[in-house]
C-alpha cells in the first residue's frame, strides 16, 4: 500500500508546531525517542525527521513527497520546489543586523562591507537587486557573534523576537524577506501519493481555516435583530433561534479573529447580551 512521505524538522519550535498540526488534523504518529522515521497509525503516512537545511534536497530527489519547512529555507535552498500551503506558524524574517553604535540609512550602506550569514543565496540576490557589492562570510550557526570578533561588519540571519540580536549588541536595520512554515511538494511525487496529499491538504485547510475564526453565540431583543444581523454576517447569514423569553432570540455566527474585538464592541453597543465565544476545531466548506 502506498504511503505519503512527509519531512519535518528534527527538533526545535518548527518540529513541535508541525507535530501539533498533524495531531490537530487527526493523525496519530508512533514515534519514539531519537527515531528518524515513524509511521502514522490511522493514515497512510510516514514522517521523516530531518535537519531543516537538508529537507529541500530530499524533496528534489523524491526521497520525501512533501515537507513542512520554513519558507526562508526553501528560498535559500529549494529552487524549483513548489509551496502548496502556507501554514501560519513559525513566523520569522531574514534581516540585516549591525552593531548598535553603527549608522544605517539604506542598503547602500552595505557597499564594500563584510557580511556574515547562513543564507548566502538570499543575500546575493538581495544585494544584486540593489546593485550593492559586499563580501560574504558563510557561517553555519552563531552568526550573531561575527561582528563582536571582528569577522564582519554586519550579519544577515533569521529574526523572531530580536532578543538574540539584543544580547549580542546588534540591531535589526533591514528586512530581506518574511517567512513562515509552509507545506512544500516534491516535483517527483507519484500520482498515487498526490491523491493522499489531496486528502491531507483537505484536513489541513479545515484546521487552518478554523484557527482564523471564532464561533459566537449571543442573545438580543427581536427589535434589534436586523442591526445585529448586519454586524454578524456569518458564513452566509447568522443562525437565529427563538428563546423561551418572549421577544428575544439567540444568534449564532462566526467571526474572523482579526476583526474579533471590533465586532464584539459593536455588538455590545447595539444591544447584544450574554455573548459567548467558542474556539472552532475544524471548518469544512
In a domain, 284, yes or no: no
What percentage of the chain carries pLDDT values higher than 90? 81
In a domain, 242, yes or no: yes
Do 161 and 273 sit in the same domain of this protein?
A: no
Do 100 and 82 sit in the same domain of this protein?
A: no
Chain segment 28-49, per-residue pLDDT in tens: 987 766 788 999 999 999 999 9
In a domain, 143, yes or no: yes
Q: In CATH, what number is assigned to the domain containing residue 56?
A: 3.40.190.10
CA 111, 112, 113 angle in degrees (round to 5)?
A: 95
d(CA 9, CA 70): 9
User: Residue 66 has what pLDDT?
Assistant: 98
User: Residue 270 has what pLDDT?
Assistant: 95
Domain boundary residue, one of 123, 155, 178: 178
Do 68 and 186 sit in the same domain of this protein?
A: yes
Q: Is the pLDDT of residue 62 over 90?
A: yes
Do 86 and 155 sit in the same domain of this protein?
A: no
Do 71 and 111 sit in the same domain of this protein?
A: no
d(CA 227, CA 270): 7
Do 64 and 205 sit in the same domain of this protein?
A: yes
Do 66 and 110 sit in the same domain of this protein?
A: no
Do 192 and 136 sit in the same domain of this protein?
A: no
User: Residue 231 has what pLDDT?
Assistant: 87
Chain segment 145-188, per-residue pLDDT in tens: 999 999 999 999 999 888 889 999 999 999 999 999 999 999 99
In a domain, 219, yes or no: yes
Do 197 and 72 sit in the same domain of this protein?
A: yes
**Number of domains into which the chain is organized:** 3
Domain boundary residue, one of 210, 231, 258: 210
Q: In CATH, what number is assigned to the domain containing residue 273?
A: 3.30.70.120
Print the domain residue range for 134.
92-178
Do 205 and 167 sit in the same domain of this protein?
A: no
Amino acid at each position: 500500500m502506498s504511503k505519503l512521505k512527509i519531512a519535518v524538522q528534527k527538533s526545535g519550535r518548527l518540529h513541535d508546531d508541525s507535530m501539533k498540526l498533524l495531531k490537530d488534523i487527526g493523525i496519530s504518529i508512533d514515534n519514539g525517542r531519537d527515531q528518524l522515521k515513524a509511521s502514522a497509525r490511522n493514515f497512510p503516512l510516514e514522517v521523516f525527521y530531518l535537519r531543516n537545511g537538508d529537507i529541500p534536497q530530499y524533496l528534489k530527489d523524491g526521497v520525501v513527497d512533501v515537507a513542512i519547512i520554513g519558507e526562508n529555507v526553501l528560498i535559500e535552498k529549494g529552487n524549483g520546489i513548489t509551496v502548496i500551503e502556507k501554514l501560519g506558524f513559525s513566523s520569522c524574517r531574514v534581516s540585516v543586523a549591525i552593531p548598535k553604535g553603527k549608522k544605517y540609512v539604506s542598503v547602500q550602506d552595505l557597499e564594500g562591507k563584510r557580511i556574515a550569514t547562513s543564507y548566502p543565496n538570499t543575500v546575493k540576490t538581495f544585494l544584486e537587486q540593489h546593485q550593492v557589492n559586499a563580501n560574504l562570510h558563510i557561517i553555519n550557526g552563531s552568526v550573531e557573534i561575527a561582528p563582536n570578533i571582528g569577522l564582519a561588519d554586519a550579519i544577515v540571519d533569521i529574526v523572531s523576537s530580536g532578543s538574540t540580536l539584543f544580547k549580542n549588541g546588534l540591531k535589526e536595520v533591514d528586512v530581506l524577506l518574511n517567512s513562515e512554515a509552509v507545506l512544500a511538494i516534491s516535483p517527483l511525487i507519484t500520482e498515487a501519493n498526490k491523491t493522499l496529499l489531496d486528502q491531507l491538504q483537505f484536513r489541513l485547510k479545515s484546521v487552518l481555516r478554523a484557527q482564523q475564526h471564532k464561533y459566537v453565540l449571543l442573545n438580543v431583543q427581536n427589535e434589534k435583530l436586523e442591526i445585529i444581523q448586519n454586524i454578524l454576517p456569518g458564513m452566509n447569514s447568522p443562525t437565529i433561534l427563538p428563546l423561551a423569553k418572549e421577544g428575544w432570540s439567540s444568534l449564532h455566527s462566526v467571526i474572523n479573529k482579526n476583526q474579533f474585538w471590533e465586532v464584539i464592541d459593536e455588538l455590545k453597543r447595539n444591544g447584544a447580551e450574554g455573548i459567548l465565544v467558542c474556539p472552532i476545531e475544524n471548518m469544512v466548506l
